[in-house]
Amino acid sequence: MAESKSPVIATIYQKIVDGSFLPRLRSSENGVIPYQLQLRELDAILKNASLYLPFLAQQQCDGYTPAEKIRKTFEFRVPYYVGPLNDKAAHHWAVRSNTDSKEKIYPWNFNQLIDLDHSAEAFLVNLIGRCTYTGDPVLPKDSLLYSEYMLLNELNPLKIDGQPLSTEHKKQLIKDMFIHPVSKQKGKVTKKKIYEYLKSKGWISKATNIDSINGIDDKIKSDLRSAFGSAQPSAGLWAISRCSTASFRAEEMI
């Protein structure tokens, strides 16, 4: 075959050997051609084809011509927040405008059959984690409220000579060492840093030994950086995080 006298056959054979003969239309290589150019080409093809295929320009019972349906099919993309349109799909949350309707969904009737607002809401609800045992919704581990909860869980047992730290002092400690720490404070908050902080505030005497502080580990594992990232939270943002009812419940832990 490779020795064929026909140059066309020889070329085809060589492309078959190279694996480049008759490439698929649906290929990542098509990405080099801008979408806008492909759309212009499609419009030109439909316009020319309508001259000798008149049915392309004839309006159908649903109000669209075949040419318009082809164009809408080309342009259509299912929004990420709508998800699979198949009602039997394992992960399906799209909400129909008419829940009793079983009409098949096409690109040209998508906006009429799918309730985008309720589908977007269902998409967000679907992202909420659930308790393994009860199925109830749970907070993200890095959420503002849960980060505060974990921090309080470590600080609440803090005692000085057997006496718990007052609520006001504990709030101030959290603000100064976790929400708005001084620039010279580096790394995790430790028992020693808390001891030095308490002395600097005059809440314990300078003669008090570090061993008198108990109930906490040598290093506080929790912090609020998971919630706020590397940037320090503003006072306004921290106040907002305390506005929900659940947040007040967490504050009661102090």
**pLDDT truncated to tens, each residue of the chain (254 aa)?**
546 678 888 899 999 998 888 887 777 777 788 889 989 999 999 999 999 999 999 999 999 999 999 999 999 999 999 999 988 888 889 999 998 888 999 999 999 999 999 999 999 998 888 999 998 999 888 888 888 889 999 999 999 988 999 999 999 998 888 888 876 677 889 999 999 999 988 888 888 888 888 999 899 988 776 555 544 444 434 443 444 334 434 444 44
- Residue 150 sits in the same domain as residue 123: no
Is residue 59 one of the residues assigned to a domain?
no
- Residue 170 sits in the same domain as residue 211: yes
Nearest residue to 221 (alpha-carbon basis) of 172, 169, 153, 167: 153
- Residue 200 sits in the same domain as residue 154: yes
Beta carbons within 8 Å of 106's beta carbon, 6+ residues apart? 69, 73
Residue ranges making up the domain that contains 187: 144-252
| Dihedral sign (CA 24, 26, 29, 33) | positive
Under 8 Å between Cβ of 190 and 220: yes
How many structural domains does the chain have?
Answer: 2
Whole-number Cα distances in Å, 250 to 14, 76, 182? 72, 47, 25
pTM summary value: 0.56
Nearest residue to 193 (alpha-carbon basis) of 147, 228, 158, 163: 158
Whole-number Cα distances in Å, 59 to 34, 56, 68, 108? 30, 8, 9, 13
